[in-house]
Structure 1
C-alpha cells in the first residue's frame, strides 16, 4: 500500500473506500471549531467517516505554552497526541476534515514536521464522501490501545520570523494564503493588535484559488497557478497565512505537484504583524 501512495500526499474517496478495512490504516478527523477565511460548511447533525478518530487540531496539536496562536506542538505533545489516537510507527494515517480541505492539511504537515512519513489527506474530506452517498456514522471509533509512534522532528520544514527576516531581501519566494484584501492591508485583521499588510516581497496566493469547491483543482491548473508565482530557478518556497493553518493548504498543493523544499512560517502573519520591530508592506 505504501508504494501506491509514495508520490502523492492526497488520497481519493475511492481509494479510502477500498482500503477502509486495512488493519494498519488509521482515519483521523482533523476537527477545528473556528473556521477563518471562508464560509464554513454547517452540519445539522454530527457525523463522521466510519472508523475515524477525533483529533482536535487547536487543542491537541498546538503548543499552548507558546505566545503564538497556533504554534506547532512540542515533540512530547505530538507524541502524546498521536499515541492517544492509537497511532503506531507503521500506521498509515489518512486525515480528513468536515470542510473538505481546511484543517486537515495543517494536521498533515504537523505529522511531517514531526517526522511521521506515512500520512495523507483525503481530497474532498467529509463533504465529498457524503456527496457520493458513502456511509457515515454518528460516533468516533473507540481507540483500541495506545500507539507507539514517536516524534522524530524534521525542524527544517518549519521556520520562525528570524529566518523569514533573513530571506526577504533575497530571491526567496514567500507565498501568503490569506485573502487579497487582508494581504493588501485593506481589511482589518481578525486578531487584536495585529497590523494590516504583508511581509515585504511576499506574494499573495489565497488558498481558495487552489480549490474547486471542497477538493483541489486538477494538477494542470495547480501547476499553472504556482508557476505564475514561483520562478523555475527557485528551489525553496516559504508559506505563510494568518496563523499557520491555511498556509498548509498551499503546502499540500505544492507537494502534490512535485515541490520538495517547502517551509511553513509557523507564526505567520499573527506573529509577524504583531511585532512592530518587523517591516511590513
Structure 2
C-alpha cells in the first residue's frame, strides 16, 4: 500500500493480522478545534497506547514537541513491539489530529509501512464498531532502528535561509487569526504573526468532519493556495502537531516533497531576532 490512509472497513478486516500493530496516538491538549471529550476510555480492539506525548517527543530538548532522537524512537518502537514486518496503523480520538504527527515521526525515521486511520476513533464508533476499555500490551520486543531522513524534518536555519526561495513553499497550519496576528497566541509572551512569505492553510480546511477530504478537493485546496507542484513544501504550525495534518493531506494529494519545520511558531515566534509579518 502506498496510500497513507486506511479506512475503517480495511481495519476491521485486518484486525487479526499477525503483523498489524494498531496504535492510539491521542493527545491530551487539543488546539485549533473544539475537542471531543469522552466520559470514559474507548479503545479499538487490539490497540496499544503509543503515549505520543511521552515516547514520541524529545523531552531533553527545550523545544516544545521536539521530534525524538533516533535512539529515543528506537526505544519507543521496541517497547511497542514494532518490527520490520509490522504494518503500523495509527489513530486518535479526535478523528484526524495527533495521529498524523506520529505517522510522520515513523516516516521521518525511515519506517514506511505506516498509515493513518481515516476518521480515527470517532468514525469507528459512529459506525457502531466494537470498542474495549483498556489498551493491549505488546507481547514481543521490537527490532527497528530509527534513522532520521534529514529532508523530512527541517530546523530554523533551513527556513531562514530559504525565505522567498522559489522552490520552497512554507505553509502554516494555524488558524487565520493567529497567522495574521489578530488573535493571541496560546503561549504567554509569544509574538503574533507569521514567517515572512509563508502561506496559510488552517488544518481544518483539509478535513471533512472526522475524515480527510477527497483527493480532488485537496488538489483544489493546494492549487488555490498557489503552491508550486515542483516546490518542497515545508509545513509549520504552533509546535509541530497540526502541521503534520497538512503533510498527510499533501501525501493524499500525491505531493511527497514535504518536510516538517520541527520548531514551528513556538520557536520562530519566540525568537525576537527572527523576522515576522
Task: Give the TM bin, normalised by the shorter chain.
Answer: over 0.9
Pick aligned residue for 1:175 from 162, 168, 171: 171
Task: Map 1:190-209; keep pairs closer than 5 Å.
Answer: 190-209=186-205
Aligned-partner SS, 1:31: coil
Measured after TM superposition, the shift of residue 150 of structure 1 is 1.2
Give the length in aligned residue pairs.
Answer: 276
Confirm whether residue 83 of structure 1 aligns to residue 78 of structure 2: yes
TM-score (norm 2): 0.98
CA distance in 1, matches of 2:248, 2:229: 21
Q: Contact between 2:26 and 2:94, CA under 8 Å: does it hold in 1?
A: no
Pick aligned residue for 1:247 from 234, 243, 246: 243
Pick aligned residue for 1:237 from 224, 230, 233: 233
Tell me what 1:271 maps to. Answer: 267
CA distance in 2, matches of 1:49, 1:121: 14
Tell me what 1:126 maps to. Answer: 121
CA distance in 1, matches of 2:119, 2:142: 27
Q: Contact between 1:100 and 1:125, CA under 8 Å: does it hold in 2?
A: yes
Q: Contact between 2:90 and 2:117, CA under 8 Å: does it hold in 1?
A: yes
1:35-69, Cα deviation, whole Å (9 max, x unpaired): 11111001111111000000111111011111110
Structure 2, unaligned runs of 5 or more? none
Tell me what 2:53 maps to. Answer: 58
Pick aligned residue for 1:188 from 184, 189, 192: 184
CA distance in 2, matches of 1:160, 1:275: 13
Pick aligned residue for 1:153 from 148, 152, 158: 148
Measured after TM superposition, the shift of residue 119 of structure 1 is 0.3
Aligned-partner SS, 1:139: coil
